[in-house]
Amino acid sequence: MSIVKTANHRAPASAHRRRVDPVKAASFITLLITTFLMLLPLFFMVSTSLKSKREMLKFPPTFLPENWAWSNYREIFDTLHFGTLYKNSLTIAVLTVIGTLISSALVAYGFARFRGRGNQFLFILLLSTMMLPYPAIMIPQFVLFSHMNWIDTFLPLIVPAFFGSAYNIFLLRQFFSTLPEELFDAGRIDGCGELRMWWTIALPLSAPALATVAIFAFIYSWNDLLTPVLYLSSSEKFTLPVGMASLTSSRFRIPPWHLLMVASVLAMLPIVTLFAVAQKQFVEGIVLTGIK
Q: Residue 292 above 70 pLDDT? A: no
Q: Please state, as a whole number, how many other Cβ atoms lie within 10 Å of the Cβ of residue 229.
A: 14
pLDDT in tens, 150-184: 999 999 999 999 998 899 999 899 889 888 888 88
Q: Residue 227 above 60 pLDDT? A: yes
Q: What is the rounded average pLDDT of the residues 218-229?
A: 92
Do the beta carbons of residue 79 and residue 141 sit within 8 Å?
A: no
Do the beta carbons of residue 97 and residue 217 sit within 8 Å?
A: yes
**Please, what is the average pLDDT of the chain?**
83
Q: Residue 285 above 60 pLDDT? A: no
pLDDT in tens, 80-109: 788 899 899 999 999 999 999 999 999 999
Do the beta carbons of residue 46 and residue 64 sit within 8 Å?
A: no
Q: State how far the Cα of 228 lies from the Cα of 220, in Å rounded to an integer.
A: 12
Q: What is the rounded average pLDDT of the residues 131-135?
A: 87
Question: pTM for this structure?
Answer: 0.80
Q: State how far the Cα of 62 lies from the Cα of 52, in Å rounded to an integer.
A: 12
Do the beta carbons of residue 65 and residue 51 sit within 8 Å?
A: yes
Do the beta carbons of residue 172 and residue 162 sit within 8 Å?
A: no
Residue 231 confidence (pLDDT): 94
Q: State how far the Cα of 224 lies from the Cα of 16, in Å rounded to an integer.
A: 57
Do the beta carbons of residue 176 and residue 113 sit within 8 Å?
A: yes
Do the beta carbons of residue 255 and residue 248 sit within 8 Å?
A: yes
The percent of residues above 70 in pLDDT, for the chain, comes to: 87
pLDDT in tens, 3-22: 444 545 555 554 455 677 77
Residue 17 confidence (pLDDT): 59
pLDDT in tens, 37-82: 988 888 888 888 888 777 777 777 777 888 888 888 888 887 778 8
